[in-house]
């Protein structure tokens, strides 16, 4: 369930920062540690820890604001910009009247292993604001300093990572994908040392803070603080065995964020089962939407899974350029646990960990049955969205799934650009009986073929990554047992796949859409509208974010603002299809990372391959 975009408010409707109507329900309903003890520590029997001392930035100033996110709080962009104290308020450097700084306690399974207590190590909860839309928004500042959960960290975030979170939060919301929001980005003259390239060489980077908001930032890991000792890691949650607090947390979440479920069930177990099923459905829909825009989260640990089905915590995320099911956006993920194609199964695995954390609050057999429904639920959402991406609206053919798989296989084998290929499909003309199919579709196919990777790029992309021993075994099989080898390794070549593309199988499927109606113009209009509102023209590719980061690090924030404006209208087609073709090979060689003038929808330039995100 995605949040609707709130229209901009004029200054006469907006409130001032000092008058934000805080109503900090979470701190009233849930146990809060308030010892005042400094430094990192294990926090027992509490869901939050109060923060009594702020850690101000040096000369904080705005990099960018999101007008639509501010409007959710009843704030106007110009009013915020005109407030000289706003950068301090929105970075956690000065206390907003009514706010109550705190940090949230949670655990998590990280890369498959229980990691024990984690918590908000660089995030400070400010409170919850009741907006004029009868919604409550929890406000956080990310990068505001040390908390009880910082462990060995300094609680700071740098400009580079803050720009990525700010832009992607708003990009996802504009794509209609449920997400936490980012209202402001503040940087400063306070520096910390970081190793951005993981090369062993640290460099000073500016401390920066993102103010983000959501109805709640409670996550799967919030319930894992009650887990007993894990048999593999030997760790346990800081509130292990505190079933009374677990019940408090569960009651708070259901009553506050799932009121219909609360009202519909008088039996506690039935209520909790309905809640768990709804979390499963929201998670399945969320990951289906990710897959359909080629988004890869990168770190789908249980502490990064929202209990409300929101995209949460933007670290080493990435939108695919060349379509690849094995796409990994996190350079630290050496085994591909969080690859693009693994995301649905990982989300199911995380839901299983949530069920374990809820323990006796759920009936085990019913929770298992709900988990068994996950993949079917996900596939139904995925197929529904993919039909819209292909303009298949009026008829659900049993072979649609195969058609989609065939298209993706062609895209994979040819190294086609995921975003641009789907966008170009809306330019495929409607098949008329009198038309010569090949002649009609030819110009669009030419543009689609320009989205494919070069032979050199495909060789690099398909370079074997398997161990030498396994590779030698397969080569030996090819020589000594050709029949067995053909069973495991026979794949059509690129040339054959391009030929299949030229057969334009989807055109025949499109023709089925007009069966039973004579108003072809209406069908065409519906199809184009659905496709152009489902296939974005632009997504936040890594090279786009990198351009904005490099400009901002030199003191030029204009590119961050420009990118934000483009991402806020991802389906806008200000240019024709020819702009999706991208620069020529010669232009790509000449284009450098310092070039800031480009069409955001184009395929990435050659230098983008050097970007490494961990």
| C-beta contacts of 516-524 below 8 A and 24+ residues apart | 520/430, 523/394, 523/430, 524/430
Residues 361, 407: Cα–Cα separation, whole Å:
44
Q: Are the C-beta atoms of 60 and 186 separated by less than 8 Å?
A: yes
Helices 400-414, 505-512: crossing angle, 10 deg rounding: 150
Q: CB within 8 A of 367, min separation 6: which ones?
A: 273, 276, 355, 358
Q: In Å, how far from its chain's centre is CA 68?
A: 19
Phi, psi of 161, deg, nearest 5: -70, -30
Which residues, in sequence order, are CB contacts of 150 under 8 Å at separation 6+?
Answer: 40, 121, 122
Instruction: Give, in order, the Cα–Cα distances in Å from 190 to each of 83, 143, 207.
Output: 22, 12, 6
The answer for residues whose C-beta is within 8 angstroms of residue 6's C-beta and 6 or more apart is 68, 71, 72, 133
**What are 231's two structure tokens?**
């048999």
Q: What are phi and psi for residue 82, nearest 5 degrees? A: -85, -10
- Encoded tokens for 589: 């060689």
Half-sphere exposure (Cβ direction) of 136: Cα atoms closer than 13 Å: 13
- Tokens found for residue 278: 């709804």
What token pair was written down for 258?
């799932």
Residue 74, SS3 per DSSP:
coil
Q: How far apart (Å, rounded) are the C-alpha atoms in residues 336 and 45?
A: 36
Closest CA to 67 of 177, 173, 206: 173
- Tokens 């509490």 locate to 46
- CA dist., res. 211 & res. 92, Å (int): 9
Q: Count other Cβ atoms within 10 Å, centred on residue 385.
A: 17
Cα 434-440-444 angle, rounded to 5 deg: 160
User: Where on the phi/psi map is residue 452: left (φ > 0), alpha (ψ -120 to 50), or beta?
Assistant: beta
* 595 in catalytic set: no
* 125 bridge partner residues: 102, 140
Task: Please state, in angstroms and rounded to a whole number, the distance separating the CA atoms of residues 64 and 552.
Answer: 11
* CA-based nearest residue to 298, from 252, 329, 326, 254: 329
**C-alpha span between 152 and 145 (Å, rounded):** 12
CA distance 178 to 2: 4
Residues facing 311 on adjacent strands = 179, 305
Strand partners, 209: 186
Torsion of CA 137, 142, 148, 150, to 10 degrees: 150
- Tell me which of 10, 230, 303, 595 is the catalytic residue: 303
Q: Radius of gyration over alpha carbons of the chain, in Å?
A: 25
Residue 149 phi, psi dihedral angles, 5° rounding: -110, 15
Q: What does the alpha-carbon distance between residue 382 and residue 376 come to, in Å, rounded to a whole number?
A: 10
Q: Would you please indicate which residues are annotated as catalytic (active-site) residues? A: 303
């Amino acid at each position: 369930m995605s949040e609707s975009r709130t229209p901009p408010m004029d200054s006469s409707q907006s409130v001032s920062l000092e008058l934000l109507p805080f109503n900090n329900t979470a701190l009233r309903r849930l146990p809060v540690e308030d010892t005042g003890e400094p430094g990192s520590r294990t926090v027992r029997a509490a869901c939050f820890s109060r923060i009594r001392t702020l850690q101000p930035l040096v000369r904080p100033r705005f990099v960018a604001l999101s007008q639509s996110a501010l409007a959710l709080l009843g704030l106007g962009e110009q009013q915020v910009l005109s407030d000289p104290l706003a950068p301090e308020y929105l970075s956690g450097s000065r206390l907003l009247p009514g706010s109550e700084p705190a940090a949230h306690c949670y655990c998590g399974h990280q890369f498959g292993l229980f990691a024990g207590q984690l918590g908000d190590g660089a995030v400070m909860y400010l409170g919850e604001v009741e907006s004029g839309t009868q919604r409550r928004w929890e406000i956080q500042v990310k990068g505001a300093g040390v908390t009880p959960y910082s462990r060995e960290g300094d609680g700071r975030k740098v400009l580079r990572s803050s720009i990525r979170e700010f832009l992607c939060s708003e990009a996802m919301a504009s794509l209609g994908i449920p997400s936490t929001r980012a209202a402001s980005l503040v940087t400063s003259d306070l520096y910390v040392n970081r190793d951005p390239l993981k090369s062993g060489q640290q460099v000073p980077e500016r401390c920066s803070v993102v103010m983000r908001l959501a109805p709640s930032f409670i996550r799967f890991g919030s319930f894992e603080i009650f887990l007993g000792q894990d048999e593999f890691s030997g760790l346990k949650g800081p509130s292990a065995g505190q079933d009374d607090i677990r019940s408090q947390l569960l009651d708070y979440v259901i009553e506050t964020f799932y009121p219909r479920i609360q009202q519909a069930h008088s039996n506690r177990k039935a209520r909790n089962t309905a809640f768990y099923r709804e979390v499963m459905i929201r998670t399945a829909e969320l990951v289906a939407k990710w897959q359909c825009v080629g988004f890869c989260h990168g770190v789908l640990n249980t502490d990064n899974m929202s209990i409300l089905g929101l995209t949460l915590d933007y670290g080493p995320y990435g939108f695919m350029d060349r379509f690849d099911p094995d796409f990994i956006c996190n350079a630290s993920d050496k085994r591909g646990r969080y690859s693009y194609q693994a995301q649905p199964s990982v989300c199911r695995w995380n839901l299983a960990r949530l069920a374990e954390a809820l323990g006796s609050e759920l009936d085990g057999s019913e929770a298992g049955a709900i988990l068994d429904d996950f993949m079917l639920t996900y596939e139904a959402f995925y197929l529904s969205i993919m039909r819209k991406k292909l303009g298949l609206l009026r008829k659900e053919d049993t072979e649609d799934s195969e058609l989609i798989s065939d298209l993706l296989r062609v895209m994979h084998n040819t190294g086609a650009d995921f975003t641009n290929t789907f966008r170009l499909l809306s330019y495929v003309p409607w098949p008329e009986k009198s038309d010569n199919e090949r002649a009609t579709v030819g110009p669009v196919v030419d543009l689609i073929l320009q989205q494919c990777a070069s032979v050199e790029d495909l060789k690099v992309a398909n370079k074997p990554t398997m161990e030498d021993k396994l590779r030698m075994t397969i080569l030996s099989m090819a020589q000594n047992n050709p029949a067995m080898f053909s069973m495991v390794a026979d794949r059509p070549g690129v040339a054959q796949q391009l030929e299949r593309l030229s057969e334009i199988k989807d055109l025949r499927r499109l023709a089925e859409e007009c069966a039973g109606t004579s108003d072809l113009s209406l069908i065409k209009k519906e199809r184009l509208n659905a496709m152009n509102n489902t296939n974005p023209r632009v997504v936040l590719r890594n090279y786009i974010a990198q351009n904005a980061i490099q400009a901002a690090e030199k003191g030029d924030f204009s590119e961050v603002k420009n990118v934000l404006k483009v991402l806020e209208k991802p389906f806008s087609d200000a240019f024709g299809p020819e702009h999706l073709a991208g620069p020529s090979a010669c232009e790509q060689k000449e284009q450098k990372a310092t070039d800031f003038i480009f069409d955001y929808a184009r395929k990435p330039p050659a230098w983008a391959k050097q970007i490494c995100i961990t």
